[in-house]
């Protein structure tokens, strides 16, 4: 009897090791034109709602049967091999572009990268209501939460007035963990921007944030963005020590000496709309981008340089094809809008009522 039990246990262990040897990989499918797609894996539906980008996680086995359905209801089946130069792969993300022309489907390999697993439970769940008070200024008590392995930042700035108290040091600890998990420069830049955009900070905290940035240009972007959320600017000259090259140091010194001239551009709480000639050029670049995925990437990299009117944001949203990316853009642009009281006028940009409801809930949360 014991021999039989041992045999079963040995079989289970061997089976587990065999599966582990095959490895768990991710498969990312990106619509080359931005057209939303539905995807199934081995006849199991992955996304009920069509999306321009679909990530399938924890795929076991080298050979997978993919089903793809486009908006015009055309359906295709395709076998994809998750191998690296013909060999088994493990803990990698395999990317493919998806495109259909006429009755033909094209699947173009885009690359293989390491899977970077972000921490899932390093902060408590999102509070149902504001859970801390700072004098008479209400704030939200947590830095961010994880949603579907994506970070959603809370706005921890005071609802009125200027920053008077820096974010808790534990927030910097959460940020440090994230930066160690992300080695790509653009991802680090995005995380630093979001931290500084949504929080009051002191000079020492900003110096720590800048220490994670390798590119001098990225450091300048973050330093200028964060400056107007500093609780005390008396030690601002210390920020120069975060830079190595004379060009960057000269740029920062000029900015620090003339900060008031930049406030309408870089300050989170915009009051003065950016000049139309600059805005028209930016909106044209948005419209000329190939698809919604490219547009949202372009927006993330540049929106903090402007202060928008509701009308300008409406024109930007018109460049997007799908409500999902429109809503994402709308949430980003809220923080750089000089006319927040009229922000819900943008509900007219959406085709689906669930998106207008999500925008209303988002704006309501920021106004608390």
Q: What is the pLDDT of residues 230-260, one digit of tens each?
A: 998 888 899 999 998 888 888 889 888 887 7
Cβ contacts of 127 within 8 Å, gap of 6 or more: 140, 141, 142
Whole-prediction pTM? 0.42
User: Residue 6's pLDDT is what?
Assistant: 55
Alpha-carbon distances, residue 139 vs 127, 159, 172 (angstroms): 11, 7, 17
**Which is nearest to 214 in space by CA: 241, 184, 237, 256?**
184
Q: Which residue has better confidence, 264 or 291?
A: 291
Q: Which residue has better confidence, 129 or 42?
A: 42
User: Residue 349's pLDDT is what?
Assistant: 92
User: Could you report the per-residue pLDDT of 37-82, keeping only the tens digit for each?
Assistant: 889 988 888 888 787 778 888 888 788 899 999 878 888 998 888 8
User: Could you report the per-residue pLDDT of 130-184, keeping only the tens digit for each?
Assistant: 334 334 333 334 455 555 555 555 556 776 667 888 887 877 877 887 787 777 7
User: Residue 8's pLDDT is what?
Assistant: 52
Q: Which residue has better confidence, 52 or 26?
A: 26
Looking at residues 85-89, what average pLDDT do you find? 81
Distance CA 255, CA 260 (A): 9
Among the ranges given (171-185, 257-271, 334-348), the one the predictor scored with the smallest mean pLDDT: 257-271
Q: Which tokens sit at 318?
A: 């018109």
**In the predicted structure, residue 121 carries a pLDDT above the cut 50:** no
C-alpha R_g of the chain: 24
Q: Which residue has better confidence, 35 or 314?
A: 314
Neighbours of 80 (CB within 10 A): 18
User: Residue 167's pLDDT is what?
Assistant: 83
Distance CA 95, CA 109 (A): 6
User: Residue 210's pLDDT is what?
Assistant: 94
Residues of the chain with pLDDT > 70, as a percent, come to: 78
Looking at residues 22-30, what average pLDDT do you find? 77
Looking at residues 347-363, what average pLDDT do you find? 88
Report helix, strand or coil for 45. Answer: strand
């Amino acid at each position: 009897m014991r021999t039989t039990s041992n045999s079963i246990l040995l079989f289970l262990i061997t089976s587990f090791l065999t599966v582990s040897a095959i490895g768990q990989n991710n498969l990312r499918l990106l619509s080359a034109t931005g057209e939303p797609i539905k995807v199934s894996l081995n006849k199991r539906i992955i996304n009920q709602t069509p999306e321009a980008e679909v990530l399938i996680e924890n795929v076991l086995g080298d050979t997978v049967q993919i089903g793809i359905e486009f908006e015009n209801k055309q359906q295709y089946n395709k076998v994809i091999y998750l191998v690296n130069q013909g060999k088994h792969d493990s803990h990698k993300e395999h990317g493919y572009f998806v495109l259909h022309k006429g009755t033909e489907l094209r699947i173009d390999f885009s690359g293989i990268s390491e899977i970077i697993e972000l921490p899932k439970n390093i902060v408590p769940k999102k509070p149902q209501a504001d859970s801390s008070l700072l004098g008479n200024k209400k704030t939200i008590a947590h830095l961010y939460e994880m949603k579907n392995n994506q970070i959603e930042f809370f706005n921890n700035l005071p609802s009125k007035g200027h920053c008077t108290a820096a974010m808790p040091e534990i927030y910097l600890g959460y940020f440090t963990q994230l930066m160690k998990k992300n080695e790509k420069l653009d991802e680090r830049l995005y995380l630093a921007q979001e931290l500084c955009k949504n929080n009051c900070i002191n000079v020492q905290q900003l110096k720590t944030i800048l220490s994670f940035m390798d590119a001098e240009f990225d450091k300048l972007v973050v330093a200028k963005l964060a400056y107007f959320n500093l609780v005390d600017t008396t030690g601002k000259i210390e920020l120069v020590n975060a830079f190595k090259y004379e060009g960057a140091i000269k740029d920062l010194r000029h900015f620090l000496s003339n900060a008031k001239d930049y406030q309408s551009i870089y300050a989170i709480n915009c009051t003065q709309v950016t000049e139309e000639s600059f805005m028209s050029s930016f909106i044209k670049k948005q419209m000329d981008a190939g698809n919604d995925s490219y547009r949202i990437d372009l927006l993330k990299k540049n929106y903090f340089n402007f202060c928008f009117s509701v009308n300008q944001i409406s024109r930007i949203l018109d460049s997007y094809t799908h409500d999902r990316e429109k809503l994402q853009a709308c949430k980003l642009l809220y923080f750089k809008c000089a006319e927040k009281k009229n922000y819900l006028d943008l509900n007219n940009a959406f085709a689906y009522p669930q998106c207008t409801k999500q925008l209303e809930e988002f704006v309501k949360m920021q106004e608390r």
